[in-house]
Structure 1
Amino acid sequence: MKRELIQNTKVIPYKSGDAIDRERFLSGVLAVSLGAPTGDPTGITVKIAVTECDTQSGSYTAVEDKDVFVDHTADGEGAITLTVDKSGNELHNLDLDLAGCKKFIKITVTVNCTGGTSPKCEATCAIALGDNAVQPV
C-alpha cells in the first residue's frame, strides 16, 4: 500500500493562479491556510475559483462542472466562497473532483477582508493530486 500511495499521489506547493498539469489525476485536495489578519477586520471571506484549459498558456475558462468541489456547489464562475472567522488562522481542506476537467487547471484564491482599518489577510496553498489513472504494476 505504501508504494501505491507514493505512485498515485502528487503534492505541490501552490501559488494562486499558477497552472497545474493534472493529466491522469482524477481528484485532489486543496489546502488553504489563512494567516492572522492585520487591521482588525470584522469579516473575512475566501473565494476559490477553478478554471481550465487544454494548454498551459492558453485561455482559461471557468470549470463547467458545478460539483468540482465535492462538498460545495460551484457557481457559474467555477467558484465557491467561504465565510471564515475574523481572527483568521484557519486551515481549509477542499476535496476536488477533477475527472471532467481539461489537462490544465488554475485555482485562484482571493481573500477579502471587510471592516477594520485597512484589513489584510494572506493565504498559503498546497494541492495534493490523487487517483492517478495509470495504476502501478
Structure 2
Amino acid sequence: METIWRDGTHDAINEAAGRPAGSLLNGYHFDFREDGSRRYLMGAEAPAGAAAPEGLAILPLPAQTYAVFESREPMEGEGEIGLEILNVWRRVYSEWFPSTQFEQVEGPCVEKYAWTDESRTESACEVWIPVRRRSGTCGV
C-alpha cells in the first residue's frame, strides 16, 4: 500500500477524482469468493461521467442499503493506516452482525478515509457494508 504513495499513483487517483493531492483514498473490497478471498483496490469517488485515466479503473457501486461504522485513529508515520480499521472489521462481524437482524449481501464493501484536520495527524474512517434485513425478522 505504501508504494502508491511513493510512485505517484496516489496523487494520480486524487487528480483524476478532482481532489487535492495528499487526500486519503478509500479502500474497496469486492469480488468475494467462496474460499474467503477477495479483490481490493484503492480509489476515490469519481465525478459523474468521468472516464478512468490509462492504468486506472472505475468500480461501479450498486445502489443498495449499507450499514456504516465510524472510527478515528492517529496516523503513525507518513501515509500508514494503523490497526484501528482491523478492530472495526472484527467488531462488525463478532458483535454487530450477531446482535442485529441484518445480514451482509453481495456487493463491494467500502473503507472511506479522510483527514480530521489540516495537521494530518488523525484520520477518520467509515466502513460501509452492503446489508439487508434477514428474512422473517422485523425491527432493528
Structure 2-normalised TM-score?
Answer: 0.30
Determine which structure has greater relative contact order: mean sequence separation of CA pairs < 8 Å that are 6+ residues apart, divided by chain length.
1
State TM-score, norm by structure 1: 0.30
Structure with more of its chain in strand, by fraction: 1
